[in-house]
Amino acid sequence: MAEEWKANASSDPEEVEFCVAAARLGLDPFDVSEVESERIVRVSESLQECLLEEFFSVVELPDLENQSRFVGETLDRIGRLDSDLLVDLKGRIPERTTVDEPWRQGYAIASQVRELLGLGGTLLRTDADLAKALGTHVARMKEATINGTKSPGYFDAIVGFNSRGGSGFYVSKSHEVARRYTLSRCLCEVVLSTGNAPSLISRSNSERQKRNRAFAAEFLAPADLLKERIRSRVVPVDLVEQLALEFGVSEFVIRHQFVNHGIADRIAE
């Protein structure tokens, strides 16, 4: 719907921006009340332009103001963190502009990053493994991460930077496996970032989210390493459980890797 309104709106950039934002909220851009219109404009002006697409794709109309304040305040907190995390990786991978599907982009970027880090067949099953791979340690990662669950259903994470280019994250997940997966999604945004542009990570099905989810799956559970452990096109469910434990990811990630990379035909439940 948003893309249709974007195509049909006038060439005025502000009108196009408003129409897309309203459409993402499920509203008819040409039948929006004055109050709703003012709210959308006010929130749009309070956030950086690079955040607007993802913000309006997931936040519901009643929560616009409190969520925009939350995002702004969180990015301010991240900006004050004494972090040098991922400075050397920031923007290292140019964003692909091909017509590849976003998940294929995510897989390719993950392979590039693993090669850049010299990981080979190294598994990242713990926070310590992930920290070591990124050239840091768990304590520094924790210092660069803001924990919280203030935004359930909207944002899984928020990625930002301080003035030195050090990365910082808000992460809503508390379970270790889910947090590591979410941090890997954050890593995707960092290696693709230009300047100090922040990003929002959510459950939406935008191209950005599809790409960073695919990146995280391939970064933590590379398809080539999974293939080495499979002896049949029909995989027993207990092997899925074993692989999830071995790679430090959820069974959901393993199953999706099997399907998306054509590793197995089916799971024998």
Distance CA 254, CA 85 (A): 28
**pLDDT higher than 70, residue 107:** yes
pLDDT digits (tens, 9 = 90+) for 163-207: 999 999 999 998 999 999 999 999 999 999 988 899 999 999 999
Other beta carbons within 10 Å of 149: 9
**pLDDT higher than 90, residue 97:** no
So where are the chain's domains? 2-67, 68-220, 221-269
Cα–chain-centroid distance for residue 189? Answer: 7
Distance CA 184, CA 178 (A): 10
Average pLDDT (2-22) is 67
Average pLDDT (133-159) is 88
pLDDT digits (tens, 9 = 90+) for 16-33: 788 888 888 888 888 889
pLDDT of residue 1: 46
Question: pLDDT-derived band of residue 5, with 50, 70 and 90 as boundaries?
Answer: very low
Average pLDDT (126-146) is 96
Distance CA 168, CA 189 (A): 12
Distance CA 24, CA 101 (A): 22
pLDDT digits (tens, 9 = 90+) for 32-83: 899 999 999 999 999 999 999 999 999 999 999 999 999 999 999 999 999 9
